[in-house]
Amino acid sequence: MKTYWQNYIEGAWVDGGAGRIDIANPGTGEKLAEQALADVADVDRAVMAAQRVHQSGALADLRPVERGRMVQAMGRYLLENKDEIARVLTMEQGKPLWEAVIEIEGAARYFEYYGNQAETVEGRSIPLGKGYFDFTTYEPFGVSAQIIPWNYPVEMTARSLSAALATGNACVIKTPELTPLSNAWFAHAAEAVGLPKGAVNILCGLGRDAGAALAAHPQVNQIVFTGSVPTGIAIATAAAQNVVPCVLELGGKSAAIVHDDADLAAFENDIRWGIYFNAGQVCSAMSRVIVHDSVHDELVERMVGVAQSLSVKPGIEQPQFGATMGAMVSEAQRDRAADMISAAQAQGAQVATGGRKMNIPGAFLEPTILTDVTPDMTIANEEVFGPVLSVLKFSNDAEALKIANGTPYGLVGGVFTRDLDRATTAARQLRAGQVFVNEWYAGGVETPFGGYGKSGYGREKGREALWNYVQTKNVAIKLKG
């Protein structure tokens, strides 16, 4: 493994004006490598390089199918290198190696999907009567700035980069301080498929320095941010100053409502994926289960069984798909989650299983289930971003929906029942951008994703996401005679 990783600006690997940052392996607690840190001048160079690519037309003026082919080829490049990328991703992020492979495959899928969509961004003709011919076209914004979180660094970059390139934007990616290394393969992929130098720039820097400079840069034309609410507010404020659009994908406190007629055995699988995948560090994690009184005890017993079945160890020792969980991204994140568990206990929650930091090197937390959680508790409202599930009870449908909708967030929600009327009513009434019926995470790259309320605005994934990266131009032609 390389010990020093540089930034990538205008087709060259470069040092950072702000020096270097140590990258740790959360599976061992040891230093893994050093990463170049960009300063404000580096950000400026990257943005200006991207702006030159845009102005040159080297991307924007291509026939869309040609851009689409390059975008698809980037996905294939990731798949060809997935074993190497997955090892680096696991070592910097902590997730099991098999989960890292799934992340690379998921990233590649975005390039396949949006590569295929490139030539479908068509305008329309609007009838204005005999004297005019009118049509609309969609043009790329120009420079797309994308600020990435640490939990899925490869997949999150893939999600925005693929759609932005497919629609003809040049991009500047600001990678997260904790997990910047695996993003290097996007630069390799851009080179391998022949994108112009400066079309893809990738730099790591501190959020408050490089991130803030990128969000506020006057030559950035559009911003995509995935991360926490306070940072989202800072970025939206910077975007407003320059009057550029931004997409905000923020956090969540998403709830599954489990009715008395739900298939409780099947729900074990939803627990497995919903709260323990990536050690719960998923914005759309199923962090609350709201269960009917009459099946509460049976469901808790099943969920505790799932939590206790997980073998928790360094991700690099977990090549095979199975009942395993890795480290959290850092000891600071792990300690924050452990503190939230203690605070919940002080407010009256019970630990049904887990709850403790593990006595091994690295950032490990036991898979945890908290019962006797009530809607007023902090743990029922604030995002833990760890393997911690809160269980609440309800006695009628209206109460369940009230609890589910009772936080400022609104990213996703789920309802588990065999009753179609109940499921449909809940789907209508859940205040969330995506509703899962009888399977948490049902959907895919094809389905739009994004938040209501404090979970953000704009949509990623699906055809909806394409419209983030283009602006509509209307052309009205006055005809003679």
Q: How far is CA 109 from CA 176, 198, 469, in A?
A: 22, 24, 19
Q: In the window 242-261, what residues touch ligand NAD (CB under 6 A)?
A: 249-252
151 binds ligand NAD (CB under 6 A): yes
Provide, rounded to whole angstroms, the least separation between the CB of residue 430 and ligand NAD.
Answer: 17
Residues 185-224 that bind ligand NAD (CB under 6 A): 207-208, 211-212, 215
* Residue labelled with tokens 């743990």: 379
What is the amino acid identity at position 382?
E
Task: Pick between residue 231 and residue 407 the one whose CB is nearest to ligand NAD.
Answer: 231
Does residue 155 touch ligand NAD according to CB under 6 A?
no
| Active centre residues (catalytic) | 249, 283
Residues 273 to 292 in contact with ligand NAD, rule: CB under 6 A: 283
Q: Which two tokens stand for residue 315?
A: 């991700």
Is residue 354 involved in binding ligand NAD (CB under 6 A)? no
Binding status of residue 143 toward ligand NAD by CB under 6 A: no
Nearer CB in complex with ligand NAD: 104/147: 147
Which range touches ligand NAD (CB under 6 A), out of 171-179, 296-304, 310-318, 348-356? 171-179
Q: Which two tokens stand for residue 389?
A: 């599930």
One-letter amino acid for residue 263 of the chain: D
Count of Cβ atoms closer than 10 Å to residue 63 Cβ: 10
Where does this chain touch ligand NAD (CB under 6 A) — which range of 101-109, 133-141, 173-181, 345-353?
173-181
Half-sphere exposure (Cβ direction) of 198: Cα atoms closer than 13 Å? 18
Q: Are 440 and 262 in contact (CB under 8 A)?
A: no
Choose which of 94, 149, 362, 458 interacts with ligand NAD (CB under 6 A).
Answer: 149
Smallest separation (angstroms) from ligand NAD to the CB of 383:
5
228 is a site residue for ligand NAD (CB under 6 A): yes
Q: Is 397 a binder of ligand NAD (CB under 6 A)?
A: no
If one asks whether residue 115 binds ligand NAD (CB under 6 A), the answer comes out as: no
Minimum separation from the CB atom of position 193 to ligand NAD (A)? 25
Q: Which is nearer to ligand NAD, 43 or 60 (CB)?
A: 43
> Is residue 153 near ligand NAD by the rule CB under 6 A?
no
Q: Which is nearer to ligand NAD, 207 or 362 (CB)?
A: 207
Instruction: Decide whether 233 or 479 has the Cβ nearer to ligand NAD.
Output: 233
Residue choice 92, 99, 270, 383 for contact with ligand NAD (CB under 6 A) = 383
Q: Is 150 in the site for ligand NAD (CB under 6 A)?
A: yes
Q: Pick from 75, 227, 280, 315 the residue near ligand NAD by CB under 6 A.
A: 227
Give the nearest distance from C-beta 473 to ligand NAD in angstroms.
Answer: 29
When binding is defined by CB under 6 A, the residue of 27, 75, 176, 386 that contacts ligand NAD is 176
Judge contact between 173 and 49, C-beta under 8 A.
no
Residue in 238, 307, 284 with CA at minimum distance from that of residue 442: 284
Q: Choose between 59 and 282: whose C-beta lies nearer to ligand NAD.
A: 282
Taking the C-alpha atoms of 73, 78, 80 and 84 in order, what is their torsion angle to the nearest 10 degrees?
160
Decide: is 172 part of the binding site for ligand NAD (CB under 6 A): no
Q: Scanning residues 74 to 93, which ones bind ligand NAD (CB under 6 A)?
A: none
Kindly list the residues in this chain that would bind ligand NAD in the complex (CB under 6 A).
147-151, 174, 176-177, 207-208, 211-212, 215, 226-228, 231, 234-235, 249-252, 283, 383, 385
